[in-house]
Structure 1
Amino acid sequence: MNWIKVKIDYFSNTLEETKSKLINMFEEIGIKQIEVIDYFSDNSLDYNINFKKKSEIWSIIGYIVNNRFSKLKLNIISDKLKEFSLDDEEFMYEIYTSECSDDDWKDEWKKYFHTVNITDNIIIKPSWDDYEASEGETVIEIDPGMAFGTGTHETTALCVEFLEKYVPGKKKLLDIGCGSGILMLIGKILGVEKVVGIDIDSNVKDVVIENFEKNNIKDNYEIIIGDLVEDINEKYDLVVSNILVDVLTELLENIEKTLEKGATIIFSGIIKDKEEEFLRKTKEHNLIEIDRNEKNNWVSLVFKYN
């Protein structure tokens, strides 16, 4: 498959808020394949151990499938950026595009994705990094391949924190929109007996299998290619979904078919401005809020199924 790589370098007085707006801009037109680069530029001085400066220019990179709709999506991005600059006099940006293939896209991750502490105890590392675990740390090796999800985004980190808290005692986990399988994998390593992931992206299956093999997990997991919960026929005591809030709202219509009595549900990917509206919808589906956390304008919510 061929892609168009869209790179936006930007500056504003509220970099974190601007980053959330740009991520949301990409996601609103269906672009999940994104990289967010905070602080560092491509200048080699930024990486010199004796001179590590914090760059005021941040970047976000999105990948658009190069087809007959790509020009429309590029026009939408251009129009949105112009809107942002009219609303915020301090917002400045430059946009670049280039064509790339699947192999080019996979190699791009290696420039920016390195070992990170997702929580105090869970470390995510790609296969190309070496890392020696300290006592009490759990190291999970994961490569995104052609699927979305490295664990470095705030929404994923929030999910992982809640998984650590709510996994004990759970037997079956369902990850809706599983991407690279990172949340399935963490759930399994934390002690869930069986984990199942579903995703609409056909690239996901091979990526998830490869990531489970990297971590020496050979059974009690399953990947389903499908839309939300259409092809789910079992019930689960733990369900997690880290996707766009508009898609989460759509998911609510059928979420109950997947839930055991008393199940725990973790939702993430919710922009703070849309939290109140989403909470109103959850009350229509027998979900009782039991926990909440937020990072940089992103919110994660936990519910009990009544």
Structure 2
Amino acid sequence: MKWIKVKIDYFSDNLKETKARLINIFEEVGIKQVEFVDYFSDNSLDYSVNFKNENDIWSMIGYIIDNRFVKSKLNIIYNNVNEISKDDENFMSEIYTSRCSDEDWQDEWKKYFHTVNITPNIVIKPSWDNYEVKGNETVIEIDPGLAFGTGTHETTSLCVEFLEKYAQNKKKLLDIGCGSGILMLIGKKLGVEKVVGIDIDEKVNDVVLENFSKNEISENFQVIIGNLVDDINEKYDLVVSNILVDVLEKLLEDIEKILEKGATVIFSGILNEKEEAFVKKAKNYNLKQIDRREKNNWVSLVFKYEN
């Protein structure tokens, strides 16, 4: 498959607000996962021990399928970025595009994805990094391949934090929109007996199988290719879904059919300004909010199923 790589270099006095607006622009054209890059050197000798200056210029990278809709999507990106300039006189940006293939995209990740502590006890590492386990750390080895999901994005890291908090004594986990399988893997490492992931992307199956193999897990997991919960016939006591809020709202309409009584449900991918409407709708499906966390305008919510 052919792709268009879209890279936005930008300067802003309001980096957090600008970042959120640019993410929204990418989401509008269907880019669900984004790479963020700064221009700090990887060489620690380039820095003074006593002084570290905050980076002023950031980059954001996303990929669009190169089909007949690509020009329209690029125009939407250009026009919306220009709108930011009208609102913020200090905002400056450059937009770059290039064509790439599946293989090129997969190799791009190796430039930016390195070992990271998602929580004090959970570490995510790619296969190309060496890492020595410290103390009681749980290390997940994962390569995103052609299915995004490395744990570094705010929405995913929030899910990881909540899984660490709520996965104890759970028997069956369902990850709706599982991508690379990272949340499935973490659930399994945290002691969930059986983990199942569902995703609409057919490439996900091979990526998840490879990542579970890297972590030496060979049983009690399953990947289903399908849309939301259309093809789910079991009930689960732990459900997690990290997808766009508009899709989460659609998911709510069918969520009860796959929930055991008292099930814990973790939703992420909700922008702050859409949280209130989502919580209000969730109440219509016997979901009681029990927890909340936020990072950089992204919100993750935890509910208990009370029917």
Question: Offset of 1:48 from its aligned partner?
Answer: 2.6
Give the counterpart letter for 1:269 in structure 2.
G
Give the counterpart letter for 2:292 in structure 1.
R
1:96 aligned partner: 96
Per-residue CA shift, 1:34-74, capped at 9, x if unaligned? 2122x326xxxx22321146431100001011111111110
1:87 aligned partner: 87
**1:101-180 aligned within 5 A:** 101-180=101-180
Instruction: Say if 2:275 and 2:299, in contact at 8 Å, map to a contact too.
Output: yes
Q: Is residue 2:219 matched to residue 1:219?
A: yes
1:231 aligned partner: 231
Instruction: Say if 2:32 and 2:244, in contact at 8 Å, map to a contact too.
Output: no
Q: In 2, Cα distance between the equivalents of 1:293 and 1:94?
A: 33
Give the counterpart letter for 1:50 in structure 2.
L
Identity among equivalent pairs (%):
72
2:50 aligned partner: none
1:266 aligned partner: 266
Instruction: Say if 1:40 and 1:54, in contact at 8 Å, map to a contact too.
Output: no
3-state secondary structure, aligned to 2:44: coil
Equivalent of residue 51 in structure 1, options 46, 53, 76: 46
Per-residue CA shift, 1:58-102, capped at 9, x if unaligned? 000010111111111101101110111111212111000001111
TM-score, length of structure 2 as denominator length: 0.96
1:254 aligned partner: 254
Q: In 1, Cα distance between the equivalents of 2:116 and 2:8?
A: 24
Q: In 2, Cα distance between the equivalents of 1:229 and 1:40?
A: 41
TM-score, length of structure 1 as denominator length: 0.96
Q: In 2, Cα distance between the equivalents of 1:288 and 1:243?
A: 20
Per-residue CA shift, 1:185-222, capped at 9, x if unaligned? 00001000000000111111100000000000001000
Q: In 2, Cα distance between the equivalents of 1:88 and 1:54?
A: 20
3-state secondary structure, aligned to 2:73: helix
Q: Is residue 2:29 matched to residue 1:29?
A: yes
Q: In 1, Cα distance between the equivalents of 2:90 and 2:277?
A: 30
Q: RMSD in angstroms over aligned alpha carbons? A: 1.0
Q: In 2, Cα distance between the equivalents of 1:132 and 1:18?
A: 37
Give the counterpart letter for 1:2 in structure 2.
K
3-state secondary structure, aligned to 2:45: coil
Question: Offset of 1:33 from its aligned partner?
Answer: 4.3
Give the counterpart letter for 2:218 in structure 1.
K
Instruction: Say if 1:205 and 1:223, in contact at 8 Å, map to a contact too.
Output: yes
1:300 aligned partner: 300
3-state secondary structure, aligned to 2:131: coil
Q: In 2, Cα distance between the equivalents of 1:36 and 1:305?
A: 35
Q: In 1, Cα distance between the equivalents of 2:130 and 2:143?
A: 14
Count of aligned positions: 301
Instruction: Say if 2:11 and 2:92, in contact at 8 Å, map to a contact too.
Output: yes
Give the counterpart letter for 1:128 in structure 2.
W
Instruction: Say if 1:26 and 1:62, in contact at 8 Å, map to a contact too.
Output: yes
